[in-house]
Amino acid sequence: MKTIVFLLFLCWSVVNIFAQDQLIYVTGSMNSWAEADDGWKLTPTGENNMYRLEKTLAAGDYEYQLINGTWGDGSIVSEGTHKISLSEEK
């Protein structure tokens, strides 16, 4: 198992689109692409425009996106699907 930390910095152009209290979720192959899953919600760090989520995952390959709730127009915070590979510790 590996601990992974998702850190998100919202640049000024995105901040103008999303409210400061915007809910942002990680959705992907690790959680069956679930929408608005509170277990995968990024939380504000207290620093301007920074969000954080820490999870422990098994070794493997994962795909994910950042969304602001449910799938639909304007719901995707990050463009495209991101990939991450976690290997076993040696």
pLDDT at 16: 47
Give the count of beta carbons closer than 10 Å to the beta carbon of residue 16: 8
Q: Which residue type does 18 have?
A: F
3-class state of residue 80 by DSSP: coil
* DSSP string for residues in 16-76: HHS-TT--EEEEEGGGTT-SS-GGGEEEE-SSTTEEEEEEEE-SEEEEEEEESSSSSTT-B
pLDDT at 12: 44
Q: Which residue would you say has higher pLDDT here, 85 or 3? A: 85
Q: Which residue would you say has higher pLDDT here, 8 or 3? A: 3
Q: What is the pTM (predicted TM-score) of this model?
A: 0.73
pLDDT in tens, 9-55: 655 445 445 555 678 888 899 999 998 899 998 888 877 777 888 88
